Structures are given as structure tokens and as C-alpha cells.
Structure 1
Amino acid sequence: MSTPARPALTDEQRKRIEANRKRALERLQQKNGKRPAQSEPSEHQQQPAVKKNKFQPPPIRKQDYIEYDFATMKDTKGGFIYDGPEPGEEDAKTLNDWKKEQQSKELPPPMDLSAMPRCFECDSVDIDKNLFTNFDVRACRKCIKAKPDKYSLLTKTEAKEDYLLTEPEIADKDLLKRIEKPNPHGYSNMQLFVRFQVEEFAWKKWGGPEQLDQEWERRELNKAKRKEKKYQDQLREMRKRTRAEEYTRKLRDGKSLGEKHEHDWSAPVTIDKNTIKRRCIDCGIETEEVVI
């Protein structure tokens, strides 16, 4: 029995079959991640692939990072961040204001020499700019070196201890002018005062250097008395502890009652075959003895 012959395909059917085969191959290559063999990648197409292989760190999300300066942050005690004006905005100065201020600080020398500031001591015009600007003190460099006891700078601690000034008096800027510098030994700024200005205020407060010395001696005497009283209290407390320990030791050894206690035992009471019990008639202590 002969098989029936296949009908011949027309040209249109062959073109359709070939087109379907090509589309199927392209879909298979795309699924496997491969490019079509007939399409050669150009130099422009290879450039992104080279860049993609290089390590590229992820970008920093700066919008999620907020930096706070805790040194300038104000604690409102309310559990939230202070959203008020920034420090320095209230008294912010423009550039013109700053220039005018600098011009007023560095004024040109006057044409009339009689109007120039002069030294208190020698009437010289070569005064120290630092003392004149910050302390309103007219003194030349020569006199500053010649009289360090008058124009030297004092720290806040020296002003409190040597001249017996209080904290509110030192903090008052109307009473004592000062300059602030970074403190190498701590975080707070160091305050410096001119010695003769501190002395003038101290003489006015205490009545003179003699009265200041008397007040200093009185405080030192009271300090010595308090120290001696504290020492005597500690010595008295130590003696109390010593006596208490001695009494406890004697009580433990039976010496605090005069003579050592001697037990007056009663007749033994038999508990079982090998155990007897005794009791002191005076103190009531009981013992059990095992007879071997």
C-alpha cells in the first residue's frame, strides 16, 4: 500500500515558515541571555558593558542624614529639637557694619598730637593696643615691662583666691573688664583681668590692702579651726570604735562581767544509750555529750 504524496508548499507558505522559525530562534536566544549571532555588537554598544563590570559604590543618601552641632544646640527641656533662630542671627551684622566697626577700631592717628591717647606713666604715645582696646588702659610697652605688678594679667582663679572676690562680682562685666582665650587645661574659656583694676575693686570692697590681709588671715584661721575640729571629730570617732571593739572582744571572752564565768552543770540526763544532756544552772546553756 503506497503512502499518499505530500502536497507541494507554495512560496508564500515557505516564507511564513521561515519567518516563524527565525522568530522562535530569537525568542530562545533572548530567553537564554544571548544576542543573535547575526548581530555583531558595535564599539558603542560594548562601552556600557565594560563600565558595568567595574565596582561602583552605592550613592550616599544625603537627604536621610542630618547633622547636629550639640555645642550650639539649645536644650528646651521639652523633648524636641529647638527650631528657633540660629546662633548669631539675632545680632548678625552686614558687611558694611563690619567695615565701619573695623574703621572705628583702627582709626588713623589724629593730626593733633595733643589729642592722641598717651601712657599713664610716661606720657608716651606708643601705647599697647591690646590693653587700650579691651581694658581701656593707656600704658606703653616699656611701662608694662617695668611694672608687671600693676599691668600683668590675672586669671579668674587668682582673682578669687588672692583678692577674695565672689563669683557674681567676677561675672559682672561692668565691674571688671576681661578678655577670653581658649583654656589649654579645660573646655571653658580662660578669663584674664588686669591686676591693678582687680586691686582697685578689692581695695574698695575691703577698705584697703591691710583690711584685705586681715580678712585673709581671718579666713585662714577659720579654715585651720575647721580642719582641727574635723580631725578631732575623726579621732573621737576612732576612739569610740576602738572602745566598742575592745568591749565586744571582752564580752566575747567573758571578761566584761568581771571574772570569767564558770558553768555549774546539773546532773546529766540520759537521752539515749550513748547521749547525755547537761545544763548550766546559772546561765542556762545546754550541752549534749556522746559517750563512747
Structure 2
Amino acid sequence: MAFTETSNVFDQDTMASVETKEVSHTEGDAAAATAQQLSAAQRARIERNRLLARQRREARLVQRPTEARAAPPPADSGGGFLLDEPAPAPPPRARAPPAPIQDPAERPSCLDCEQRFPQSYLFDTFGYNVCDECRDDDGAHELITRTEAKNTYLLKDCDLDLRPPLLRFVRRRNPHGSRLGDMRLYLRAQVEARAHEAWGSAEELQAERSRREEARARSKHTATARRLRALRMDVRSSLFAAKRATHEHEFGAEQYDADRDQYSRTCACGHVETYEKM
């Protein structure tokens, strides 16, 4: 019996130990599962943030591909925000001058000397067939501004920009300041030819100039006459006011009106004063 009781006690202790180990193992598995579940959630959140950041970066690259590749990092505004600064515009590339025409049969003939030439400034820049030897910068080959072309040859913007063939021009820096923009310089010979085309002939252009000069002279004469008339009126008004301010009436003999029982006297300036006597 003692042996049996001892065996039962031993079996109970063994079972209790086994149950304790099973409980401990179950709690360890639950903690490991919980830790594994939290790690997966964290990994999912990290992956989601990474994809969102990648999408934003790709969107910026699509909007500003050149800026994203070459621009420096955005500047800090001082409040913790990053400011996107626009990339500066690239400078215009200088156009290389065209090569000389090698085939003599295809070379243009100069309008002045009638000699064929392979290359010239007026031909390359304005398409005007004049060689460099016959170029006259003070005459028909002078470069004039757009304003002078419109005022001197009575042209409109459409005549310079829309009427075919389009007139060529060169750009020069404005001497009055960079804020005014570059100047457009046209070839005088081409502008004069365009004016003859717009007005029909050189005679029609000259007639229109004469009409405008006469209209300008009449307008100037009318404005001058109006100013002179206003000046004369001002002088007369000031003289009349001064005369009235300094005039003293000199009345003649008084006259009695029996019907009205009134007296009156007249000044040399025409003023009549009427009064009664008590």
C-alpha cells in the first residue's frame, strides 16, 4: 500500500508538471504569435508608406523631368517647409551660320553688281540677294527698328507679321534697358518694298504721307487757335475784373420821378442808382 500511494503521488506530481509545461508552452506560443502579428502590421505600414512616397516622387518627375534631374535640392523656407524653386530657362542656342553654296550654278546673283556670290550677311540673315561688297549700311541696307518701320512707311503689325512672305528680322539688346525687351531690326529695303505692296505703289504711299501731314498740320493749327482763344478770354476776364475792382462811379445830376416818387442818377459807365428821400 505504501508503494502504491507513493506511485500515485509521483504520478500526480508528474501530471502537474506536464500541465504546467503545457500552459507555459501555450502562453509562449500566444506571445510569439502576437509579436509576429505586430511585426507584420508594422511591415505592412512601412511598405505602404514607401509605395506612397515612391508614387509622389514619380509624379514630381513626370511634372518636372528636367528640374528633377538637374535642379539642386529645394530651399528651406525657414519654417520647416521645402519650397520648389522653378528651374531657370536654358539660354537660347546660337544658330550656326549657313555654309557657303559650293555649286556656282546655284549661287544667287547680287541685285547691285549682278555677280554671283556664295555667301553674304544680307543673304544669310534676311534672304536678300546682295553681296558683302555691295552692302550699304547707311542706305537701303540699313537696319531700322519696328517703330520706325511703322511710322516712316505707314505699316501695321499685320503687314510686318502676317502678310506673306514674312519679313525676317534680327534681335538686338535694347539700349534703354533690359526690362523693355529686345529690339527687332528690319532691313530698310525689304520694309520699303512691303510698304509699296501694302499701299499699291510708291506714289500712293507718298500721297498718303502728304494727307497725313496735312491732317496733322490742321490738327496742330486747331489746337493752337484753341489755346490762343482761351488765353485771350483769360486776359479779357482778368482786365474786366481789374477794371471793376478799381472803378469809382461818377454820377451826374439826380433826376426825380414824380410818378414813383423816386430819385435816380446815372454814372458814366452806364450804372443807374435809384433811391428815395425821406
Q: Which TM-score applies when normalising by structure 2? A: 0.51
RMSD over aligned Cα atoms: 4.0
Is contact 1:144-1:152 (8 Å) kept? no
Deviation of 1:160 (Å): 2.2
Amino acid at match of 1:159: A
Mapped partners of 1:216, 1:119: distance in 2: 31
2:200 alignment counterpart: 207
Q: What amino acid is aligned across from residue 169 of structure 1 in structure 2?
A: D
Shift of 1:186: 4.0
**Structure with higher helix content:** 2
Contact 1:119/1:125 (<8 A) preserved: yes
Using a 3 Å threshold, how does the CA distance of structure 1 residues 118 and 127 change in structure 2: closer, same or farther? farther
Q: Residues 108-161 of structure 1: CA distance to partner in whole angstroms, max 9, x if unpaired?
A: 654x33133443442322431x3223211222112224x964333222233123
Paired residue for 1:193, among 167, 170, 186? Answer: 186
Distance 2:191 2:101 in 1: 31
- Aligned-partner residue type, residue 181 of structure 1: R
Alignment size in residue pairs:
176
Q: 1:282 to 1:161 in 2, by over 3 A?
A: same
Give the aligned partner of residue 161 of structure 1.
151
Alignment partner of 1:248 is 2:241: yes
Deviations 1:164-220 (A, max 9, x none): 123453455963211111233443323211122111110011121111111111111
Q: State whether structure 2 residue 172 is matched by structure 1 residue 181.
A: yes
SS at match of 2:222: helix
Distance change (3 Å), C-alpha of 1:254 and 1:167: farther
Structure 2 counterpart of 1:17: none
Alignment partner of 2:140: what SS?
Answer: helix
Distance 2:199 2:84 in 1: 45
**Residues 153 and 195, structure 2, Cα contact 8 Å, conserved in 1:** yes
Q: Secondary structure at the match of 2:167?
A: coil
Corresponding residue for residue 24 of structure 2? none
1:116 to 1:168, Cα distance in 2 relative to 1, 3 A: closer
SS in structure 2 opposite 1:213? Answer: helix
Q: Secondary structure at the match of 2:135?
A: helix
The percent identity for this pair of structures is: 27
| 1:82/1:231 CA distance change after superposition, 3 Å | farther
- Judge which range, 115-124 or 204-213, deviates more: 115-124
Q: 3-state SS of the aligned residue for 2:151?
A: helix
Question: Which amino acid counterpart does residue 245 of structure 1 have in structure 2?
Answer: S
Deviation at 1:88, TM superposition (A): 4.9
Q: Does the 8 A contact of 2:109 with 2:129 survive in 1?
A: yes
Instruction: Tell me, yes or no, if the aligned pair for 1:155 and 1:192 is still in contact at 8 Å.
Output: yes
Extract unaligned runs of 5+ from structure 1: 1-61, 67-80, 265-280, 284-292
Contact 2:122–2:132 (Cα < 8 Å) also in 1: no
Name the aligned partner's letter for residue 116 of structure 2: S
